[in-house]
Amino acid sequence: MQRAVVQGSKRGLAVLAGVTAASGMGLVYALENSVSASGDNVHPYALPWAHSGPFSSFDIASVRRGYEVYKQVCAACHSMKFIHYRHFVDTIMTEEEAKAEAADALINDVDDKGAAIQRPGILTDKLPNPYPNKKAAAAANNGAAPPDLSLMALARHGGDDYVFSLLTGYLEAPAGVKVDDGKAYNPYFPGGIISMPQQLFDEGIEYKDGTPATMSQQAKDVSAFMHWAAEPFHDTRKKWALKIAALIPFVAVVLIYGKRNIWSFTKSQKFLFKTVKGREPPKAQ
Amino acid sequence: MKINNSLLNFVNGMLVTLPSSKTLTLSWNFGSMLGMVLVFQIVTGTFLAFYYTPDSLMAFSTVQYIMYEVNFGWIFRIFHFNGASLFFIFLYLHIFKGLFFMSYRLKKVWMSGLTIYLLVMMEAFMGYVLVWAQMSFWAAVVITSLLSVIPIWGPTIVTWIWSGFGVTGATLKFFFVLHFLLPWAILVIVLGHLIFLHSTGSTSSLYCHGDYDKVCFSPEYIGKDAYNIIVWLVFIVLSLVYPFNLGDAEMFIEADPMMSPVHIVPEWYFLFAYAILRAIPNKVLGVIALLMSIVTFYFFALVNNYSSCLTKLNKFLVFLFIISSVILSWLGQCMVEDPFTILSPLFSVIYFALAYLLLFIFATSKFLFK
């Protein structure tokens, strides 16, 4: 009887705890989803990036095309201060290609007499900054300095999806929304008014590999390049993850077997309480 | 096994011959895991310190230098900042396990453990600031400003921590030095925590500490603690696959003292406390509530009850407490708008009510069985 009551109350507590946990999580889920629907900007849609899987690597052809877009379109206003030409070597280009790419750029430097010069780039040079400083960048762009793009793929909520949506999301401003001269309307940008006008257009550039340069193709490629620039080690880290993940089952088997082996004696012990004559335990009343 | 060397004897007593209850489950691995994470953080952190420069003009760039230029620097940084999350995951599991099994009956162990928790929170916060990104800079502004509520000396203390009249490069250097030194203090307190623990032995899953039917720590528990390696490998894989998922996008934008982020959110492990802080409109009361959300657990060590535990009720309440903490953490990252402005105070009240109910039941249950 007593056992039944205890079991019943245990079951009741378990049910109550389960219901409480489920309702708590339900509340969080419901409110979290309502939050996604609010806000002053459109959330970017999730895209099937070649590199978005846990063990997927970059589509290097796309990253290379993205560099072409960056160089011909974005680099006119945006810097990439953390990227050097040597980062291209054995990642998205061969050494010769990277050297040629660097030599193609004009780098600000000083000569032996301290005079300002421009020289062809070498592998150890950073990608050139279009402006001498932030104030010059702001002055040339209606007061809004174009941000550095090295980390842009990680520095915005939505990441690659956001970059793609922003680049392809320019629209006519809806009635009631005032857009000043030099600005543009883009619902993916927080607030909707962005200082950067639309930059990508169908056939705006010509790809070296002959891929049709539609607007969405360019946006996809430059988004992939910007993600590569934000973490050039991306493919290496996933390769390591895969190797270590493959190791886990073997390590687990060894450790679990070892532990069970060590514990087998302790776990298989039996205790026998033997009453010695004359030292019997007191009888239950 | 007897060794004629006092230091080795000490280590031997800690790791080999230590009498341990047979009933310690996998939940008792949390503590050893925390020790491993602490050492891991010290090793990776020292590596990062070789390349880091605590200067407001260079800090963000040197962090990126580690990511882009230092040979495999990125892997050390990824492990270090995700290691902080791993530390807190096991810290919370360890604390909840302690609440489940009423480990606060080991007073010195409990109080030293809570002190470690507070110091680790400070350590993690200061490490977060070192990145000198938008979110870390503004977190430094918000959190250090809280100290201004201390009567009389508050503004002086804030100015002293800032090393000036605002969060600047001098503040960054202040935080870097403390972030570098504090882990060694934590290591010493951890040693004290272990010595206190081993003077009685762990609370077993039978809620007892007595010297009965025990086994040596080695090889039984060394073999069991080796399971931590599996967790480590899983952590390493997750860190490599999703390195930035626990962070915020604002951590990739260099600090700009002239422009605050739209929505300031701390790291996930501080969210419950942040929700409690935001729940109260009055700044002084908010800071007091924030402090009490942890200090409350020191009070458990003030109660003497070794004779009776309402274990089922205790476990049930701890379970509810965990749920309320998780919901509070989620509320901590929500916008300041309805219904969150109502839910945050509500769940803050539930958090404190459950904590004090646990304490009340622990303090009074001994009278039930007199």
Question: Which amino acid is residue B151, in one-letter code?
Answer: P
- Angle at the Cα of A45 (from A43 to A50), degrees rounded to 5? 135
Q: Flag whether residue B340 sits within 8 Å of chain A, measured between CB atoms.
A: yes
pLDDT for the residue numbered A25 = 65
pLDDT for the residue numbered A21 = 66
What span, in angstroms and rounded, lies between the C-alpha atoms of A107 and B8?
Answer: 61
| Angstroms from B166 CA to nearest CA on chain A | 23
Q: Flag whether residue B212 sits within 8 Å of chain A, measured between CB atoms.
A: no
Q: Flag whether residue B74 sits within 8 Å of chain A, measured between CB atoms.
A: yes
Question: Are B249 and A155 an interchain contact pair (Cβ–Cβ within 8 Å)?
Answer: yes
Q: Output the CA torsion sign for B304, B306, B308, B313.
A: positive
The answer on whether A196 is annotated among ligand-binding residues is yes
Q: Flag whether residue A263 sits within 8 Å of chain B, measured between CB atoms.
A: yes
A266 contacts in chain B (CB < 8 Å): 22, 215, 220
Q: Encoding tokens for residue A215?
A: 């607007």
Q: For chains A and B, what is the number of CB pairs under 8 angstroms? A: 106
Predicted complex ipTM exceeds 0.85: yes
Q: Out of B78, B236, B335, name the one closest to residue A244 (CB).
A: B236
What span, in angstroms and rounded, lies between the C-alpha atoms of A159 and A165?
Answer: 10
What span, in angstroms and rounded, lies between the C-alpha atoms of A184 and A195?
Answer: 6
Question: Are B227 and A255 an interchain contact pair (Cβ–Cβ within 8 Å)?
Answer: yes
Is B263 labeled as catalytic in the residue annotation? no
Name the active-site residue from B267, B324, B325, B344. B267
Average pLDDT over residues B356-367: 92
Q: Where are the domains of chain A?
A: 60-83+126-231, 235-262
Tell the CATH topology of A60-83+126-231: Cytochrome Bc1 Complex; Chain D, domain 2 (1.10.760)
pLDDT in tens, B212-267: 788 899 999 999 999 999 999 999 999 999 999 999 999 999 999 988 888 888 99
Is A199 in contact with A177 (CB distance < 8 Å)?
no
Give me the residue label for tokens 């459950």.
Answer: B354
pLDDT for the residue numbered A27 = 61
Is B225 labeled as catalytic in the residue annotation? yes
The answer on whether A80 is annotated among ligand-binding residues is no
Distance of CA B134 to the CA centre of its chain: 23
B326 contacts in chain A (CB < 8 Å): 24
Q: Flag whether residue A238 sits within 8 Å of chain B, measured between CB atoms.
A: yes
Q: Flag whether residue A144 sits within 8 Å of chain B, measured between CB atoms.
A: no
Q: Flag whether residue A100 sits within 8 Å of chain B, measured between CB atoms.
A: no
Radius of gyration, alpha carbons of chain A = 31
Is B224 labeled as catalytic in the residue annotation? yes
Average pLDDT over residues A210-226: 95
Question: Are B240 and A238 an interchain contact pair (Cβ–Cβ within 8 Å)?
Answer: yes
Q: Flag whether residue A266 sits within 8 Å of chain B, measured between CB atoms.
A: yes
Name the active-site residue from B107, B108, B173, B224. B224
Average pLDDT over residues B273-287: 92
Is A161 in contact with A152 (CB distance < 8 Å)?
no
pLDDT in tens, B22-73: 888 899 999 999 999 999 999 999 999 999 999 999 999 999 999 999 999 9
- Residue A110: enclosing H or E segment and its boundaries? strand A106-110
Average pLDDT over residues A6-10: 61
Whether A219 has a pLDDT exceeding 80, the answer reads yes
Give me the residue label for tokens 């988004």.
Answer: A223
pLDDT for the residue numbered B368 = 83
Question: Which amino acid is residue A1, in one-letter code?
Answer: M
Question: Per residue, what are the HEC states of B7-47?
Answer: HHHHHHHHHCCCEEECCCCHHHHHHHHHHHHHHHHHHHHHH
B33 contacts in chain A (CB < 8 Å): none
The closest of B58, B53, B73, B238 to A232, measured between CA atoms, is: B73
The answer on whether A25 is annotated among ligand-binding residues is no
Is B209 labeled as catalytic in the residue annotation? no
Question: Are A13 and B316 an interchain contact pair (Cβ–Cβ within 8 Å)?
Answer: yes
**What average pLDDT does chain B have?**
92
pLDDT band, residue A181 (cuts 50/70/90): confident
Q: Indicate which of B23, B240, B350 best probes the interface with A, i.e. most A CBs within 10 Å of its own CB.
A: B240
**What average pLDDT does chain A have?**
88
DSSP for A131-200 reads SSSHHHHHHTTTT-PPPP-TTTTTSSTTHHHHHHHHHH---PPPTT----TT-EE-TTSTTSEESS----
A155 contacts in chain B (CB < 8 Å): 249-250, 252-253
Is B250 labeled as catalytic in the residue annotation? no
Q: Which range is least confidently modeled, A17-31, A98-112, A233-247?
A: A17-31
The closest of A194, A201, A200, A157 to A177, measured between CA atoms, is: A194
| Angstroms from B320 CA to nearest CA on chain A | 7
What span, in angstroms and rounded, lies between the C-alpha atoms of B207 and B187?
Answer: 28
Question: Are A248 and B229 an interchain contact pair (Cβ–Cβ within 8 Å)?
Answer: no
The answer on whether A84 is annotated among ligand-binding residues is no
pLDDT for the residue numbered A6 = 54
Question: Are B226 and A259 an interchain contact pair (Cβ–Cβ within 8 Å)?
Answer: yes
Whether A1 has a pLDDT exceeding 50, the answer reads no
pLDDT for the residue numbered B3 = 64
Coil, strand, or helix at residue B254?
Answer: strand
Q: Output the CA torsion sign for A117, A123, A126, A128.
A: positive
pLDDT in tens, A58-95: 999 999 999 999 999 999 999 999 999 999 999 999 99
Reported in sequence order, the residue ranges of chain B that DSSP labels E, i.e. its strands, are 19-21, 214-216
- 10 Å CB burial of residue B70 (0-12, 13-18, 19+) is middle
Q: Encoding tokens for residue A173?
A: 């401003």
Q: Out of B229, B252, B319, name the one closest to residue A17 (CB).
A: B319
Instruction: Please state the φ and ψ torsions of residue A188, each to the nearest 5 degrees.
Output: -80, -20
